[in-house]
A and B are shown apart, each in its own frame.
Chain A
C-alpha cells in the first residue's frame, strides 16, 4: 500500500503544476449545469402548472449532481486509451505496480485537487442561489449523509471499473474511446444527469432500475439534496455491491485477456 501512497503523492504534485488546467476543467463542468438551471428557472417563472419537484428541489438536485460528478466520475479512460494504442505502457508493465490501481491512484490525486478547487465556485453559486431564494437548503440528516458518502464511494469504484474496461478495450479496438461517449450518454440518460429521473418516461426509468447508473449519480445526488433516505436504500446497497463484484470479476478476466493479447517492441 505504501508504494501506491507514494504514487498518489507524486501524482498530486504533478496535478498541482497543472492547477490552472484543473481550475479551467471545473469551470467547464459547472457552466453547462448552470445554463440548465437558468433554463429551469425561466420555465418555473413563466409556467406554474407543472412538475413533481419544486424549483428549489430541482436546483438543489442539479448542484448535488455537479458535486457527485466532480467527486465520483472518472475521465482517465480518454488519456489511457491513447497510451495503450501508442504502446506507451511498456514501462508500467515491468514495474511492481498493478496497472489498473496505478490509473486509479493518479485519478484519485486529480480528484482531490479538483474537489478543493471545486468548493469555492460551487459555494459561491449556492450562496447566490440561496440569497435569491431560488433554493432553500435542507437541514442535515446524519443517516442521509452516511448513505451519501457510501454511494459516493460505490460510484467512484464503479466508474473506475467502467473507465478501466474502456482502457482495456483499446487492446483490441482502436476506437475504444468511443465507448467513453457511450458511458457519458448512459450516465446522462439512465443516471439522471440531464434531469431528475422522475421527469423521464416510465420505460426509461424501468430500464434504469437494472443498470448501475442511477445509483451512481441520481441516488447520491438525491440523498445530498433532499437529506432523506428512501425506504429501498438497502436494496440499492445490495445492487451496487452486486454490480461492483461482477465488475471486478469481468475486469480481472479482461485484464488477463489483454495481457495475453499485448505485444510490444521496445518503446
Chain B
C-alpha cells in the first residue's frame, strides 16, 4: 500500500511540474473551462426565466445541484480524462505492453498517471454556487454524507469510464469510445426527478446514473431517500467490481506484438 502511495505522490509531482512548464496552456484552458462553466449557468438562467421550478426543484436547490455537478465534473475531468485517453491509445498503439511489464497493478498505473488542473476554475465556481445556495439549516452529518456521496459519485464515473474504455481491447476503429461518458454526463447534470416512466426506471434503478449528482445534493438539502441511496451505493460497489473483473478478463485476452 505504501508503494502505491509513493508512486501516486510522484505522479502528482510530475503533473504539477508539467503545469509550471506550460503555464500559458494552463491559463488558456482555465479561461475555456470558466467560459463553459458560465455557459452552463446561462442555460439554467434561461430555464428559470421561463419557470420557477424544475420537477419540484426550486431555483436555489437546482443551482446547488449544478454546483455539485461542477465539482464532480471538474474532478472527473481532472483525474480521469487524460488517463483514460492514454489508456485507450496505449492499447491501439501497442505501448500497453510496456505497462504490463511494470511491477505494479496495471489498472492503478493507467488510472492515476496524470492529473489535470485545467478545470480548476470549474471547481471554484461550483463551490461558489453551493456557498450562495447553501440551505439555511444543515447538520454536520449532512455535510459528511455530502462529501461521502461525492466520493462515491467520483468512483461511479471513474468505473463507468474505465469500463467503457476497456472495450477498446476488442473495438478497432472506434476512437471515440472514450467520449461515451462525457455525453452520458448530461444524465446527471439535471435532477433525477425530471425522468418519468420507463426512462426514470432506467436512469434511477436499472442503471442509476441519474442519481450521481442528485444523491449528494439531496444529502445537503435534507431530502435524502433511503431506497434511492441504497440503489446508488449498491450500484457503485457492483460497477467497481464489474470494472475490475472486466479489465482482468480483457488483459488476459490481450495479445501484443511489441511496439
B183 and A32 contact, CB distance less than 8 A: yes
Contacts of A182 in B (CB 8 A): 32, 35
Q: Are A178 and B28 in contact (CB under 8 A)?
A: yes
CB distance from B217 to the nearest CB of A (A): 16
Q: Are B43 and A194 in contact (CB under 8 A)?
A: yes
Residues of A within 8 A of B51 (CB): 43, 47, 50-51
**How many Å from the CB of A206 to the closest CB on chain B?**
16
Q: Which residue on A lies nearest to B56, using beta carbons?
A: A46
Does A10 interact with chain B (Cβ within 8 Å)? no
Which chain B positions have C-beta within 8 A of A24?
174, 176-177, 179-180
B259 interface residue, CB < 8 Å from A?
no
Q: Is B46's CB under 8 angstroms from A200's CB?
A: yes
Contact with A along B170-195 (1 / 0, CB 8 A): 01011111011011101101100111
**Residue ID in chain B nearest A199 by CB atoms:** B46
Question: What's the interface size class on B, roughly?
Answer: 35 or more
Chain B window 240-251, contacts with chain A (Cβ cutoff 8 Å), 1 for yes, 0 for no: 000000000000
Is B132 among interface residues, defined by CB-CB distance under 8 A?
Answer: no
Closest residue of B by beta carbon distance from A40 = B47
A13-21, A114-122, A148-156, A257-265: which lies at the interface: A13-21
Determine the interface band of chain A, counting residues with CB < 8 A from chain B: 35 or more
In Å, the complex CA distance between A50 and B187 comes to: 25
Q: List residues of chain B with CB within 8 A of the CB of A200.
A: 46
Complex alpha-carbon distance, A178 and B31, angstroms = 10
Measured between alpha carbons, how far is A35 from B47 in the docked complex, in Å?
14
Given contacts A47-B51, A185-B39, A188-B39, contact A21 B195 (CB under 8 A): no
Residue of A nearest to B197 (CB): A132
| Contact for A20 among B39, B43, B52, B171, CB less than 8 A | B171
Q: Which residue of B lies closest to A27 (CB)?
A: B183
Interface residues of A in 71-102 (CB under 8 A from B): none
Interface residue A25 (Cβ < 8 Å from any Cβ of B): yes
Q: Is the beta-carbon distance between B46 and A194 smaller than 8 angstroms?
A: yes
B residues 36-58 in Cβ contact with A at 8 Å = 36, 39, 42-43, 46-47, 49-56
Determine the chain A residues whose CB is within 8 A of the CB of B46 once the complex forms.
Answer: 194-195, 199-200
Q: How far is the CA of A36 from the CA of B196 in the complex (A)?
A: 14
Tally inter-chain residue pairs, CB-CB below 8 A. Answer: 97
CB distance from B36 to the nearest CB of A (A): 7
B48 to chain A, nearest CB (A): 10
- Roughly how many angstroms separate A202 CA and B48 CA in the complex, as a whole number? 15
Contact B175 A21 (CB under 8 A): yes
B173, A20: Cβ atoms closer than 8 Å: yes
B25 at interface by CB-CB < 8 Å: yes
CB-defined contacts of B104 to chain A, threshold 8 Å: none
Contact B55 A43 (CB under 8 A): yes
A188 / chain B contacts, CB cutoff of 8 Å: 39
Assembly CA distance A39 to B210 (angstroms): 12
Q: Which residues of A contact B193 (CB under 8 A)?
A: 42
Interface string of A21-38 (1 = CB under 8 A from B): 100110110011001101
Q: Does B235 contact A (CB under 8 A)?
A: no
Known contacts A20-B171, A35-B186, A188-B39; A51/B50 CB under 8 A: yes
> Given A39-B47, A39-B54, 9 more contacts at CB 8 Å?
A27-B183, A35-B187, A39-B194, A42-B54, A42-B55, A42-B196, A46-B56, A195-B43, A195-B47
User: Can you spell out 18 A-B residue pairs with CB atoms less than 8 angstroms apart?
Assistant: A20-B174, A21-B176, A24-B177, A24-B179, A25-B176, A28-B183, A35-B186, A35-B189, A39-B55, A42-B193, A175-B25, A178-B28, A181-B36, A185-B39, A189-B39, A194-B39, A195-B46, A199-B46
Which positions in A face B, CB cutoff 8 Å? 17-18, 20-21, 24-25, 27-28, 31-32, 35-36, 38-39, 41-43, 45-47, 50-51, 174-175, 178, 181-182, 185, 188-189, 194-195, 199-201
